[in-house]
Amino acid sequence: MPDYPDKTMIFKLRSKEVLDARDVLERVYQALKEKGYNPITQISGYLLSGDPTYITSHKDARSLIRKLERDELLEELVKNYLEKL
């Protein structure tokens, strides 16, 4: 039987990527654009319906956008729009 040290072992897990709504929207926008979609209509469709098929899976955009709540994304869009008035 192997001799194990009588010490606590520490395992470091990779921390989850910290995502902010602005970054997610920018990355999803670019992925949609690269695939030839109209990003405005596609993102609007997703926000209104909650249907993730509005978002391409290209560059993992679909799973990326689903990591945030739709209200977080809407809040970022409204905040950004109003700040630019």
Mean pLDDT for each consecutive 10-residue tract of the chain (85 residues)?
A: 61 61 97 98 98 98 97 95 95
Q: Identify whether 4 is part of a domain.
A: no
- Specify the long-range contacts of residues 26-33, CB closer than 8 Å, at least 24 apart: 27/59, 27/61, 27/64, 28/55, 28/61, 28/64, 28/65, 30/59, 31/55, 31/56, 31/58, 31/59, 31/61, 32/56, 32/58, 32/61
Quote the pLDDT of residue 4: 59
Question: What is the residue range of 25's domain?
Answer: 21-83
Residues composing the chain: 85
User: Based on the structure, what is the number of domains in the chain?
Assistant: 1
- Give the contacts of 37 (CB within 8 A, at least 6 positions apart): 56
Quote the pLDDT of residue 6: 66
Q: Identify whether 10 is part of a domain.
A: no
Quote the pLDDT of residue 11: 56
Quote the pLDDT of residue 48: 97
Q: Identify whether 14 is part of a domain.
A: no
Whether pTM > 0.85 for this model: the answer is no
Quote the pLDDT of residue 16: 55
